[in-house]
Amino acid sequence: MRGPAVPRPCWRVSAGLGAWGHDGGVARVVLFHSVLGLRAVELNAAERLRRAGHEVVVPDLFGGGTASTLEGGFRLLEQVGWAVVVERARRALAGVPGEAVLAGMSMGTGVVSALLPERPATGGVLFLHAAADLPEPVRSGLRVQLHAADPDEFAPAERVAALREVVRRSGLELEVFRYPGVGHFYTDPELPDHDVAAAELTWRRVLDFLEQDAGRARSKAGCEER
């Protein structure tokens, strides 16, 4: 007679770029940068998530190029080309578990939107500083979280409404957090947009989102913490 099932331990594996654990006890995240390029704001955000126990990769989609203004960023994007940006992101995802959370900051939300159809098992979507489209079809139950200033030209009411409609039709889970009176890129301490309180609240909510993702992974794997 078989005895009761014993949960297996979720062994925590330390992983660097391109190396991923397989224990089911941690959220895996790929964070795509804004049109300003890969800068301290993304690197520091990734480090914050790692300190909370998550595995994070932050690809450089501009090949080292950065800008300090939106105008300069869009010029840089034009030089690199959108197709190149998306292909670099696609290559960065090679070897990343299919259930990884896809996160984007401003322009990076568009990268998430472009690649989501190729990754149907995606564990969750984080839109930061912009409301991107969700391509259909998308699997039922996908969790999506949006953080944006209010108002924000990159997250206008009509685009958020369209996002809610896709969520309704497809059976997704959506949380929308708006931050009144702050600038577009309010999480970036190097920009005039920065708002300490809104940024801190955003990252607390993101960490809660990722902890739920990790909890679901643990449950699916049938394992217990060690």
Provide the token pair at 204: 């607390």
Residue 26 is predicted with a pLDDT of: 85
Residue 17 is predicted with a pLDDT of: 37
The neighbouring-strand residues paired with 176 are 146
Contact 186, 194 (CB under 8 A): yes
Residue 66 is predicted with a pLDDT of: 98
Residue 218 is predicted with a pLDDT of: 54
Residues in the chain: 226
Predicted structure pTM score: 0.87
Distance CA 162, CA 155 (A): 11
Distance CA 32, CA 134 (A): 16
Q: Mind listing the pLDDT tens digit of every residue in the chain (226 residues)?
A: 334 443 433 333 333 333 444 455 689 999 999 999 999 999 999 999 999 999 999 999 999 999 999 999 999 999 999 999 999 999 999 999 999 999 999 999 999 999 999 999 999 999 999 999 999 999 999 999 999 999 999 999 999 999 999 999 999 999 999 999 999 999 999 999 999 999 999 999 999 999 987 766 555 555 444 3
Orientation of helix 40-51 relative to helix 196-221, angle to 10°: 50
Q: Is 152 exposed, middle or buried (0-12, 13-18, 19+ CB in 10 A)?
A: buried
